[in-house]
Structure 1
Amino acid sequence: MSRFGVHSTHVYWDVDQWKPDEHKDPRLVYSNVKSALQFEGFCPGPMSIRAYGDKAKTFSDDLTTEYFDAGIDVENNGDQYDRVHEMLIDMVYWAWNNSRGNLVVISKI
């Protein structure tokens, strides 16, 4: 039994602050995040990941598609302030609608 309950887990990932390895398969990135969260007691239920960053600097169009196909939504945001602002709005909206879920942030901020 998970110490955080059997609920959905939604991950907000600042890819400009915590960059993915360029050579990793997006499915492996998803799997590694899920495994790390399971180790910490999260994710007995469904998990979703939303990555925030400047697509032009971080993801090519092909890589964006690969991440989407792996279950990671990629949001195109401008500078750091726009990115953090968008993440906070999305987190509040998600928390408002999912009071029984787990919310995880991956960032260096």
Structure 2
Amino acid sequence: MLVCSCNYITDTEIRNAITALLDEDCWQLIVPAKVYHSMAKRGRCCGCFPNVVDLIIRTTEDYHSRRHSTEAELVDYMSRLKQLHEENRRADIERRQKGHRAA
């Protein structure tokens, strides 16, 4: 099935790219931009991104069910996501200028 008509990308190509990313690090955060970058493509109209997110979720779930991931690995992954979120949050706060006011 054709997922991205701008780049002519099928769901099989996207699933293969996601699986390749998961093979590198099975607990990394995968987003549509990362998938497209791994295929040497870029989102043009980005209308396909919601479908790509659904494919990422389904493919990741299938990957981990075949791999028989443990609860400890899931907890470690969630703590890494929380740490990443906190680091990005701090970077956003530091970028804000002191004279900035919310109107």
- Whose strand fraction is larger, Structure 1's or Structure 2's? 1
TM-score (normalizing by structure 1): 0.30
TM-score (normalizing by structure 2): 0.31
**Structure showing greater relative contact order (alpha-carbon pairs closer than 8 Å, 6 or more residues apart):** 1
- Whose helix fraction is larger, Structure 1's or Structure 2's? 2
Larger radius of gyration: 2
